[in-house]
Amino acid sequence: MEDDESTHVLSEQEYSRQKRWKLLLIIGVCLNALVVFTSDLGLDTHIHLTYATVEAGQGEAALDWGHTRPIDPLSSDPSYAPVKEDGWFDFIGDSPTDVRLLSFAITLGFIGLLYKQQQLELAVMVALYPTFIFSTGRGYPEVFIAVMLYAVVILIAHACRQEDVNKARLRALSIAVPMAAIVAVKGMSMWWGLPFGLAALAWFEAARRSPTFAKWASHPAKVALVAGLVVGALMLVMGFFDPGNTLSVVGDAPVRFSSALLIAVFDVLVIYALFGMVLWPFFGPAIKGLSTTSDLEVACIAGLIAAFAAAITVYVAALWTYESLLWGADWPLMTWTMGNNGRYISLLLIPSFMMLKRMNDLGIEVPCLEDPGDKYRSLMIGLALILPLSILAAVNGQTMWSDEAGEVMALNMEEGEDFLFISETTLGMHWLYTFHYDIDPFGNNNNTGHWRADSTDWHDELVNGTKVENRGSLDDVEWLVIAPGAGEAPEGWGLAAHGEADFLNGGGTWKVYTTHEEIIVY
């Protein structure tokens, strides 16, 4: 009788726990739905949307107002517009509505998939993770990439557990498919997914044929250490011997890169991973468990996590360094401006929790989402700490003053007219493309946006027609947009519109000037 009562009490506790998780899931889904309506698309998404719309209108995916990394870092040049073959733009459609619907559909579909597979707790983590809410609202591909990594981990598990050798080989090789999707989204050819599949196949074949290798490959701590060090070292070597790309700053600016790397470790691994993913309650036991576990599946996932973590951290540090040199930005303030690049680590949320679950299933004393044990209270505290950030990401969203300025020009610009955008150097070209969809989305109206840094002598170019190498001609400019604090218009230009940028965009007054005597306003 006492046993029955004890069972009843335990079931009541489990019922209460399930209710708590389901409530959190509902909150998370609502926040993801809300952010679709509160957030503008992110700067990078505006770039991808331009690729998509110009490709739809002209047949080639190019930034028709000039590359975001111009030859002259202080100005745009529409003639320098390389065609891009692959990228997130291949997936998102050619309108802001398409982007928002796709982004929300991917997030909601992923949450639903996890819930249907009785992975309630994991579904909650996806729904509440601030980075995913942030990305859903801004149309970034982080959730899509996380879905693909989920597929990779599933295929790894199947390859490790499959008794039929041929089926195991097929699962290993199939890793190429989700990896192809990931590299395509990041702007590389889908064929780069194939080496990942071949590497996975070779790994499993070696483990099957060599007992010595199988023993080593089943030690998670050793595999993770080697994978992280090898990938990190390869990227550093590429930086020294492959000039012309982002990683080249490793050799060009080693001191600045080294300082960026230290900051990136904190930003990527501590803030976005341990804190943002609520991994910190499990970190200590997981490290201990990895050193005592012998399991091929756990080792493969641990190696995957370490390799991606190393690659992302080095890349973020290189990106910060490269862009700061390109724009002449203050250092290390630049790392604060681009701190949200730490979100790239979000793709490891799923593999991390699935690895913990696998270790727990093996009977190793490692808590996990589904069975947190004495870490339950810490887990709830962690969720409570990120929940305000999740709400902030959903309620505030992304706001851009350029929308209002763009609407004024869209109502009044005639075919063949250009505009000039003046701002500080940091992300200047990215901000230029926030005007693109409003003014000339498909590139068929012959309107061109130009950008000049506020530190240039743009008055001379605009008023006197002075030509500067690697800068587009301003001869057809009839509109002038000045970002907050970026200067004043020359004499003779009429003020068409003005407004205030919000606090998160730096505040201040933006202004639109024109040569038109009469304009239409809302």
The answer to whether position 329 is within a domain reads no
Instruction: Report yes or no on 331 lying in a domain.
Output: no
Which distant-in-sequence residues (6+ apart) come within 8 Å of 167 by Cβ? Answer: none
Question: Is 42 part of any domain?
Answer: yes
Confidence of residue 10 (pLDDT cuts 50, 70, 90): low
Q: Which of 339, 355, 368 is nearest to 271 (CA)?
A: 339
Q: What is the pLDDT of residue 7?
A: 47
Looking at the fold, whether 408 and 390 belong to one and the same domain comes out as: no
Q: Write out the two tokens for 191.
A: 């064929």
Question: In what order do the strands lie in the sheet containing 418-423?
Answer: 449-453, 418-423, 477-482, 509-514, 494-500
* pLDDT tens string 383-442: 999 999 999 999 987 788 999 999 999 999 999 999 999 999 989 999 999 999 999 999
Q: Are residues 388 and 470 in the same domain?
A: no
Rounded to whole angstroms, the Cα distance separating 220 from 203 reads 14
Give CA–CA dist 513/337, Å, rounded: 28
Residue 240 lies in a domain: no
CATH number at residue 470: 3.40.190
User: Is pLDDT above 50 for 2?
Assistant: no
What is the count of structural domains for the chain?
2
* pLDDT score, position 6: 45
Asked whether residue 503 is assigned to any structural domain, the reply reads: yes
Domain that holds residue 70: 21-140+368-396
Across 96-119, average pLDDT: 96
pLDDT of residue 28: 97
**In terms of domains, do 375 and 443 share one?**
no
Q: What would the pLDDT profile of 278-323 be if each residue is shown by its tens digit?
A: 999 999 999 999 999 999 999 999 999 999 999 999 999 999 999 8
- In this prediction, residue 273 carries a pLDDT of 96
Last residue of a domain, one of 350, 381, 396: 396
- Average confidence score pLDDT of the chain: 93
In this structure, the answer to whether residues 387 and 414 fall within a common structural domain is no
Q: Do residue 372 and residue 465 come from a single domain?
A: no
Same domain assignment for residues 425 and 385: no
522 pLDDT tier (thresholds 50, 70, 90):
low
Same domain for 418 and 489, yes or no, is yes
Sign, Cα dihedral of 339, 347, 70, 427 = negative
What is d(CA 238, CA 424) in angstroms, rounded to the nearest whole number? 31
pTM, rounded to two decimals: 0.92
Rg of the chain's alpha carbons, rounded to an integer? 26
In a domain, 163, yes or no: no
Residue burial 199-216, b: 16+ Cβ < 10 Å; e: rest:
ebbebbeebeeeeeeeee
Clarify whether residues 468 and 484 are in a common domain.
yes
Give the three-class secondary structure for 482.
Answer: strand
